[in-house]
Chain A
Amino acid sequence: MNPIRKQRVYALMAIAGGSILAVFLVVSALSKNLNLFYSPTDLLNNELSPDTLIRAGGMVREGSIKRSNNSLNIEFVVTDFKNDLTINYSGILPDLFSEKAGVVVQGYLEKEGSFRAIEVLAKHDENYMPPEVAKLMENAE
């Protein structure tokens, strides 16, 4: 083969190999690691398997935060102003978590319709509402 053609073959082989690998990785990674966002209303009549990791969110309902006195367990209610969802979480909450603030949680929908959060997502800025929640609020108005 002449050198230039040989170089092209190398380059093509490398590019084809790289692309196949990338597509394979991206597809298999996406199939496992996507988390859909649900509002409390979405979850009302939803038959989700309790093993599916999802995101949910809304506004933390005033007066709904119940702490345990001697453990890190906490229960609160998020609302999209149509329906409510009870969230259970065990752990330290982010500084910006408060009543009447928007929150996004990641976790599993339990059989009884309550939500077991494994992560409560923090945000940086006081004025900043998670976009998913902001959209819910817009729809409610």
Chain B
Amino acid sequence: MIAELGHIFLISSLVLSLSGGISAFFLKKELPIQKFALLMTLLVTGAFFALIYSFVIDDFSVAYVAQNSNINLPIYYKFAATWGAHEGSLILWILSMNLWLLAFLSFNKSGSINFSNIVFGVCSLVIFSFLLFTIFTSNPFERILPVPPLNGADLNPSLQDFAFTVHPPLLYFGYSGLLLPFAISIAAMLSSVPNRDWASASRPWTLLAGSFLTVGIGLGSWWAYYELGWGGWWFWDPVENAAFIPWLLTVALVHSLIVTENRNLFINWSLLLSIFAFAASLLGTFLVRSGILTSVHAFALDPERGLFLLGIFSFFVLGGLIIFAFKNSTKNQSSDYSINSKEFGLLLNNLLLVVLAVSILFGTLYPLIYEAYTGGKQISVGAPYFEFIIFPFSLMLGLLQGIALYLSWGSTKSFNFLGKLIIESLSIFLLTLILLFVLFEDLIPASFITIFIFAWLISGSIFFNFSFRSLEKYLDFINRRIGVLLSHVGMAILVLGVGVVSSYSNEKELILDPGDKIKFHNKDIEFLGIRDVKGPNYISKAAEIRVIDDNRSFELQTEKRTYFPSGQVTTEAGIETGIFGDFYVSMGDNFNGDSWSFKLQSKPFIRWIWFGALLITLGTFVSSINMVRRLS
């Protein structure tokens, strides 16, 4: 009964979003759009809760519940299973698009009626198309009648995990947040708002979407690291690229909007970028859910769904581009800037980010192009391609970011610039020395570059307005620009983590009998033995490992779990985390008796990657909140 109610909620919001969307486009008067958006949000929330309810009461006559839950699944994961697969995650996606729209309408007090109407109209139509897609190809409320199964299949065991319960909602929130910059750019083109106004209306939401994307991607990486048992944190899998490309474009847009708002420049560029960022998020959805690319992430693969998504993608992206082509030409660009200006720095920033995004997109799509071109030959583009591409771009972006905050609008006074550069060089020198001293016995060029860029970024973020004479002023400045500082420092920390873990990781695979002792990376490792463990919905073999470091000793446990009813086997890694590195042990296969193979890894500085991502999340979040506050 409840499931039918959910279905009805979905259908009513489908009708509402279409009628609301169309009327907002054509009626050029004040409409109760906020109430309308609230109503749509409530209906979708209702549908979402109906689905959660069906999971919690184990209603296996609902096909989606039967496929993704089980009577023995812990209650916490029954909640999370709601968005564990394609259908439910779509509902969550639609819900978050509604929430973004509602938030925009509640906080944005500027702009003409026409402008807000069009933003509402575009969002409603996108929501409508997603609802249509859900109801016709991916209805989560479909029943298995007349004979429902007594028990469900199960939630994929590797998804039964804390990070999984929060990673998808945050990531979807980020993806769907790109709807707002898109709708705002369409509204800017169709109504005659000053560039300054639409750019300042778009900035906080773009930042916020970026914030959610960052934390979503970061959590995904962290989850893959500890849950998949391989110790990797990024695999250049299509599904990861599908999130990374919109992230890069969002970062570019965040920066380009600064110029549009403050200098009335890069107007067409910001408009286009808003369209492309949204397009990238739709393209990602399409690639991942149509099954046309080989990915380690499996969604239910269905060509019909792919075609439908391709339709949505083409309609909105082409629509946006057509409006862009036929809009009134922008009142152009009066301000002058020279090559040592902030404008030019941000131009380079955007160029690098966009070219990087396109190169990654190309590598992701190349297998498809190749297959079509050669008539069915299959190819894969491996991680080395992406690593080869991203390294020079990161280097250039890093060099640029280190001086970016020194630059002024128009042109930068070279005297100030030099003075700051001297302070910066000194601090870089010190930071580099300290890090070298703390970290490494041996130095390879890659790690030297990493440390240099880290120091360059840190000093470039912290000291850019520093002077001893007016410390108070400096602190006040820091306080006002805290968001920028946090995200730029976060980037530095992330870069250091990536650089060090890529150059200094160690691993070893070996077979151990209980009682065996070995040495690994100045640690003494002892395999104590195997215990049988029984969990709520799995049984497992747990290996106890004692590790003796220079000055301490600790025990780790790694498990080989067999989940029922699916019988799927997963590995739970044992990880000793630390600021300067993780020790990671995972169980392999059973040999004679209690002898097992193990994989030992040392992962220096890996935490810094996620800590950096967290700082970027926090920084963009704070900036965004401050901007919203200023606007309303």
Interface residues of A (CB under 8 A from B): 3-4, 6-7, 10-11, 14-15, 18-19, 21-22, 25-26, 28-30, 32-37, 55, 67, 69-72, 91-93, 95-96, 106, 122-128, 130-132, 135
Contact = CB atoms under 8 A, between A and B. Distances in A.
Contact of B382 (A33, A93, A123): A33
A18 B589 CA distance: 49
Given A7-B265, A10-B339, A71-B511, 10 more contacts: A3-B336, A10-B344, A14-B347, A14-B348, A29-B384, A33-B388, A34-B370, A69-B591, A92-B588, A124-B158
Contact of A132 (B347, B352, B378): B378
Interface string B557-580: 000100000101111000000000
Contact of B569 (A95, A130, A132): A95
A36 B589 contact: no
Contacts of B348: 14
A35 B362 contact: no
A35 B382 contact: yes
Interface stretch (B12-20, B106-114, B290-298): B290-298
B585 to A, nearest CB: 12
B381 A30 contact: yes
B174 interface: no
B156 A10 contact: no
B221 to A, nearest CB: 15
B21 interface: no
Interface in B328-353: 332-333, 335-339, 344, 347-348, 351-352
8 contacts: A4-B332, A18-B352, A22-B359, A26-B362, A93-B588, A96-B569, A122-B230, A123-B296
A36 B156 contact: no
Residue among A19, A91, A96, A124 with most chain B CB within 10 A:
A124
B359 A33 contact: no
A30 B367 CA distance: 11
B518 to A, nearest CB: 15
Interface string B374-389: 0001111110110011
B592 interface: yes
A122 B569 CA distance: 12
Interface in B586-632: 588-589, 591-592, 597, 599
A33 B370 CA distance: 14
A133 to B, nearest CB: 10
A101 to B, nearest CB: 12
The majority secondary structure among interface residues of chain B is mixed
B167 to A, nearest CB: 14
A95 B381 contact: no
Contacts of B379: 34-37
A127 B298 CA distance: 9
B228 interface: yes
A125 B379 CA distance: 22
B181 interface: no
B168 interface: no
Contacts of A21: 355, 392
B156 to A, nearest CB: 6
B608 to A, nearest CB: 26
Contact of A92 (B265, B362, B597): B597
Contact of B388 (A18, A25, A67): A25
Contacts of B591: 67, 69-70
A11 B347 contact: yes
B333 A18 contact: no
Nearest to A129: B298
Contact of B229 (A15, A19, A95): A95
Contact of A123 (B291, B298, B332, B363): B298
A93 B589 contact: yes
B351 A69 contact: no
A70 B511 contact: yes
A9 to B, nearest CB: 10
Contacts of A4: 332-333
A26 B389 contact: yes
Q: Of B339, B352, B379, which is in contact with the most chain A CB atoms at under 10 Å from its CB?
A: B379
Contacts of B26: none
A132 B265 CA distance: 48
Contacts of B347: 10-11, 14
Contacts of B560: 95
